[in-house]
Every structure is written in C-alpha cells, then in structure tokens.
Amino acid sequence: MSDEVLFSVNPNGVATILLNRPKALNSLSHEMVIAIGEKLREWKRDNSVSIVVMKGAGSKALCAGGDIKSLYEARLSESARRKAENFFAEEYEVDMAVYQFPKPIIACLDGVVMGGGVGLTYGASHRIVTERTKWSMPEMNIGFFPDVGAAYFLNKAPGHAGRYLALTASVIQAQDVLYVNGADIYMESEALERFIEKVDNTDWRHVKVEDILDQLIDEYKTYSSNERKIAPIQSEIDRHFAFETVEEILQSLDSQTSDFNLNVKKLLLSKSPFSLKITLKQMIDGKQKTMKDCFATDLLLAKNFLKHGDFYEGVRSVLIDRDQSPNYEYKHISDVTNDVVDSFFKPISPVSKVDN
C-alpha cells in the first residue's frame, strides 16, 4: 500500500484515517478507496477501536473528490472502462460503510470538501466544519452528475435547496453546510486541531464514548461568523426549483428580472444540458428512495456516463486542456428528449442522439 492514505490506531482506542495527497487536495484514488474500505471492515470488528477520526493532510482540503483525471482514461478501452466502473462501485460501498459504521466517526471538513469528499464523510456521526470549509457537489461542471449518494443527502436540505446545489454546483461555506444538513458542528480550525489532539489523548476504552465525546465537542465548538447565503434566498430557490423539468425551471427564472434569476440562469446554461436533465430526474426520484437505492442508481448512472461522450468532453475542457469550452454533443436543453433521459436510468446502453 502506498502512502496516499495513512492509518493508525493509538493505545487510547482512536483510529485515524489521514488522506495524504495534499498536492492533489487529497483526491481519492482507486487504491485509497480500497484501503479505506478494508480498514473500516477491520475496525468495525476491532474492540480496541472506539472512535475513528477522518482528516486530510495539509491545510487546504479534506478531500476534493475522486481522481477524475484517472477516470478520463476509461474512454480508451473496454478494460479501462471496467476499471473505472469498479472504482465507482467500491467508492459507493465505502461511503455506505461510513453511514453504517457502528462507532463514532469524526470527519474534519476543514478546507475543500467536494464530490467524493462529501460522499466519504456525509454518513459520519460527527461532521465538523471550519471557517476554511468549501463544500460542493461540483460534478455538473464536468458533464457528470452529483453521485456518492447525493440524491439521498441533498434531499435532506430544506425545501429545494438540494436541487439548487445539485444543478448549479454552487460552493458553500460553513454556515450553509450546517443549514443544508451537510455538517453538525462548527469549530475554528485552530480549535479543531486542539479538539482532535484532546480526542487522541483521551482514554476511550472504558467510558461511555458518546457522552464523553459530546462533552468534548461542547468545549470546543463555537458559532460561525460566515454569512448565510442559502437561507436568505430559500424562498426564491423554492419558487423556481419546485418545477420538475429543466425547461420549467428556466421559464420560471425568466418570469422576472432580478440578480438572483439572471445569475442562476447563467449558471444553469453553463452546464451540460444532458447532465442537467439527468440530475434533475435523479434528484426527483431520489426523494422517495432509501440510501442504498440511491447508491444503486448512482452506480447505474455512473456506468452509463462512462459510455457517454459528453462526460469525457466535460472532463477534457475543465481538467485536461482547461479551455473551459466544452463542445457537447447535446448543446441545447431541447436536444435531450425524455426517452434519452429515461434510457439512462435503465441497465442498458443509453440511446444516442443519432438514434432519435
């Protein structure tokens, strides 16, 4: 195993997962996902482990997401695509294992927490944000969709804030992460360091872990001074994003002129039309699904996106050539028919534009 992710267990019963790719903002490689899954299975059964701490190396990020650049290779061959499919399958298994882990997991959402980083930590029992937190599901920017269980957890946000965050790929800070139920606790980054040090130095082996942990959190938590941005516009979000087609959302935004309407419409039109329609259906359907069912749908969608040219074009334009000028096959919302969208939610090859 490489040093991309480091594991330790101290004599006090504290196990630590340190994502250790600071130059890559601790983005997740396939090998890291496999290793984390193995450790969670081991620690679940290990009576010497009382608490798990999950954090990122450096001060810039917990985790910026999956290593999408490596997934770009899936376009080259069938074997590369199968390997990418396995990455998603194993990533989602690890994310679900975090939800189901029977012991407290403290996730330090300090710095950038995006995409796969959100998925890895959303199910943790104690999620801590700081003044440095930048939280987002940014997959829409690369012609993909918000995966890692997003249709499950974004639907837990107030009103239609989850749809708004999914479709716009907006980056939010601590106050808003707390507001949309993406975190539980706020600490200043320096306080978080002291808190984790206190956790490491506390003997957890013969105490009521939850009670002592809650007491420690109360000692170090504070209130964020960051301005809330989602709550003040909640009524506007709900007005426009209550609609169940992208066309209706855009028409609603066109119904009156305001900075909010203009900015959000511009954001939406900058995304892949294909991704917009897939994601909206994913979010609507996910509202009625269990966590496991949402992950199953994500795996199906991920496999179909790996066969889809607009995904690779989005990755190319943003992460490879960085020209920010994707030449999508589906250029307009009207190009994406309901049949094309519905086909993506079935375990068959998606219908191509040429076939319609």
Give the 3-state secondary structure of residue 229.
coil
Q: Indicate if 55 and 181 belong to the same structural domain.
A: yes
Q: 89 with 204, same domain?
A: yes
Final residue belonging to a domain, choices 193, 220, 247: 220
What's the 3-state SS for 167-213?
HHCCCECHHHHHHCCCCCEECCHHHHHHHHHHHHHCCCCCCCHHHHH
Q: What pLDDT does residue 161 have?
A: 98
Domain shared by 114 and 165, yes or no: yes
Tell me, yes or no, whether 176 and 244 share the same domain.
no
Is the residue at 228 inside a domain? Answer: no
Whether residue 225 is contained in a domain is answered as: no
Instruction: Tell me the angle at which helices 234-241 and 259-269 cross, rounded to the nearest 10 degrees.
Output: 50
pLDDT tens for the chain, residues 1 to 356: 579 999 999 999 999 999 999 999 999 999 999 999 999 999 999 999 999 999 999 999 999 999 888 788 888 899 999 999 999 999 999 999 999 999 999 999 999 999 999 999 999 999 999 999 999 999 999 999 999 999 999 999 999 999 999 999 999 999 999 999 999 999 999 999 999 999 999 999 889 999 999 999 999 999 887 789 999 999 999 999 999 999 999 999 999 889 999 999 999 999 999 999 999 999 999 999 999 999 999 999 999 999 999 999 999 999 899 999 999 999 999 999 999 999 999 876 544 444 43
250 within some domain: yes
Whether residue 26 is found in the same domain as residue 50: yes
Residue 62 sits in the same domain as residue 152 = yes
Number of domains in the chain: 2
- Residue 175 shares a structural domain with residue 53: yes
Measured in whole angstroms, the distance separating CA 176 from the mean position of its chain's CA atoms is 15
Domain assignment present for 338: yes
Is there a single domain that holds both residue 108 and residue 186?
Answer: yes
pLDDT for 2 equals 74
Domain boundary among 186, 220, 254: 220
Structural domain containing residue 258: 233-355
Q: Among 169, 195, 220, which residue terminates a domain?
A: 220
Q: In this structure, is residue 341 part of a structural domain?
A: yes
What pLDDT does residue 188 have? 96
Residues 240 and 344 occupy one common structural domain = yes
pTM above 0.75, yes or no: yes
Rounded Cα gap, residues 335 and 59, in angstroms: 43
Catalytic residues: 66, 116, 139, 147
